[in-house]
Amino acid sequence: MSDTIQRHLAMLSLIPALPRKTTASQLRAQLAAQGFDVHVRSIERDLHKLSNFGLVDDGAKPAGWSWVADRKVPTLPPMSTENALALELVRRHLAAILPRRMLALLERPFDEARRTLDLFAEVPVGRWSERVAVLPDGPPLLPPEVAPDVLEAVCDALLRGRQLQASYRAIGAPRGRRYTLHPLGLVHRDGVFYLVATVNDYDDPRHFALQRMGSAQVQDAPAARPDAFDLDRHIREQRAFEWPHGETVRLELRADAWLAEHLGERRLAADQAVVPLRGRAGMFRVTATVAATEQLYWWLRSLGPSVEIVKPARLRKRLADEVAQLAAAYRV
């Protein structure tokens, strides 16, 4: 490839899409950083020659050059269908947890990915994104509204490692309080954003639901981060998003055949065992060592008559008391 063609490709890749723009002088400096020694006048001539590719200038002096925003200009080099598919899946399923600034930078690649998949719509890879779906476990509850400036400030503070001044109203509290937060991580769960952060000079991580954050301002001061903190361990090993924490129990259930088959596919724990009950056709005994969390209880309660809790006794009594209250309520 000739030096001229390489320079043209490099130059075209440096030009932004409308409404942003760049000048020949700015391009010269950027090209020089890449090792291309070229005069501003040569760049101006190149820009006019290449304008039929979808470049426009604003008519100012010096002229500002941009790609036409709505023109289907290919990326250089062209995007592969595999890369296009990966970007399309990111846009669909991860856009909610990406900072707004990052999403703005990805807008053009997202558009190019969608156009590439449309162009190759009859190729298996091009059809893949239309043939897969991600569904929630429960009913599709609408996500709570988060103020855009709050989400942007939280993401900015997290990316830059800065403290955050925020007004936060805890659930059930009549009004919000001001906090100095040290962001540690952002968790998106069931449509809700949670900021994991320490408060003031304390080291214990706490969770802040962003829909309850009235305002947030990024500070210049660096955020403190406990040396031992690891977000993945915080979530998976320490079970920080389950409550209560730390206690494990030996669960024993009597389950219908369909539930026993379901648990054979999606096990409760590595030590789970499922065996038929003697003298009870279609019933099975399920045992497993599990964390005693509210999520476990809500799941067992949702199964209704398909399951009977045998052990632990306090979990059985809790559900029995609730069933009695429900029965009384529905008799009324």
| CATH number, domain with residue 222 | 2.30.30
CA 327 to chain centroid: 41
Peptide bond into 276 cis (omega under 30): no
Question: Does residue 187 lie within any of the structural domains?
Answer: yes
Is the Cβ–Cβ distance between 193 and 151 less than 8 Å? yes
Is the Cβ–Cβ distance between 212 and 168 less than 8 Å? yes
Question: Does residue 73 lie within any of the structural domains?
Answer: no
Peptide bond into 77 cis (omega under 30): yes
**What is d(CA 20, CA 55) in angstroms, rounded to the nearest whole number?**
12
- The last residue of one of the domains, among 236, 259, 276, is 236
Domain of residue 61, CATH code: 1.10.10.10
Question: Does residue 140 lie within any of the structural domains?
Answer: no
Token digits for 36?
């291309």
Please give the tally of structural domains in the chain.
4
Say whether both 291 and 320 belong to one domain: yes
Question: Does residue 94 lie within any of the structural domains?
Answer: yes
Is the Cβ–Cβ distance between 213 and 167 less than 8 Å? yes
Question: What would you report as the CA-atom Rg of the chain, rounded to the nearest whole angstrom?
Answer: 29
Q: In which domain, by residue range, is 24 found?
A: 3-67
What is the predicted pLDDT for the residue at 244? 54
Say whether both 218 and 259 belong to one domain: no
- CA 292-297-302 angle, 5° bins: 155
Domain of residue 306, CATH code: 3.30.70
Question: Does residue 289 lie within any of the structural domains?
Answer: yes
Question: Does residue 45 lie within any of the structural domains?
Answer: yes
Say whether both 267 and 325 belong to one domain: yes
Full pLDDT tens readout for the chain, 332 residues? 566 777 787 788 788 878 888 899 998 888 887 777 889 998 888 888 877 667 888 888 888 988 876 554 555 556 667 777 788 888 877 776 666 666 776 777 888 787 777 766 666 666 676 777 766 666 666 778 888 888 888 888 888 889 999 999 988 888 889 999 999 988 887 778 889 999 988 888 889 989 899 999 999 999 988 888 888 888 776 666 665 555 788 999 999 999 999 988 889 889 999 999 988 888 999 999 988 888 888 889 988 889 999 999 999 999 999 999 989 998 85
- CA 213-219-223 angle, 5° bins: 90
Residues 234, 235, 236, 237, CA torsion sign: positive
- Model pTM score: 0.56
**What is d(CA 245, CA 205) in angstroms, rounded to the nearest whole number?**
14
Q: Which of 306, 257, 307 is nearest to 281 (CA)?
A: 257
